[in-house]
Amino acid sequence: MLARRARLKRITSLGQRTGYGLYLLSLALGAVGIRWRYTPLLSTLIAVALVVGSMLLAPTIVMSHGIKAAEREEREAAAAKTE
């Protein structure tokens, strides 16, 4: 159980970093568009980065909260046993 949770935690962390990285990429591409000129390709890249980033972030954020809740519950159960 602990090994599975650790693996899910690594996958979740990677998904969040990738999702936030794609958000940062879309922001940087938007700045490029403001500075020089928006092209259809640039607009498409911004939209794709936002959509894919959102698709990665939504489930990984929920999974991250679930993992943290499970860890907190285990700590509380362990503390209750020692009392």
48-78: pLDDT as tens digits: 999 999 999 999 999 999 999 988 998 888 8
Residue 83 has pLDDT above 80, yes or no: no
Q: Where are the alpha helices (DSSP H) in 1-83?
A: 2-35, 40-82
Residue 32 has pLDDT above 80, yes or no: yes
CA 28 to mean position of chain CA atoms: 18
Whether residue 12 contacts residue 56, with contact meaning beta carbons closer than 8 Å, is answered with no
- State what percent of residues in the chain have pLDDT above 90: 78
pTM: 0.82
Tell me which DSSP letter residue 35 carries. Answer: H
Instruction: Burial-class residue 60 by CB neighbours within 10 Å (0-12, 13-18, 19+).
Output: buried
Q: What is the reported pLDDT for 24?
A: 97
Give the residue among 82, 61, 69, 81 at the shortest CA–CA distance from 15.
Answer: 61
Q: What is the reported pLDDT for 5?
A: 85
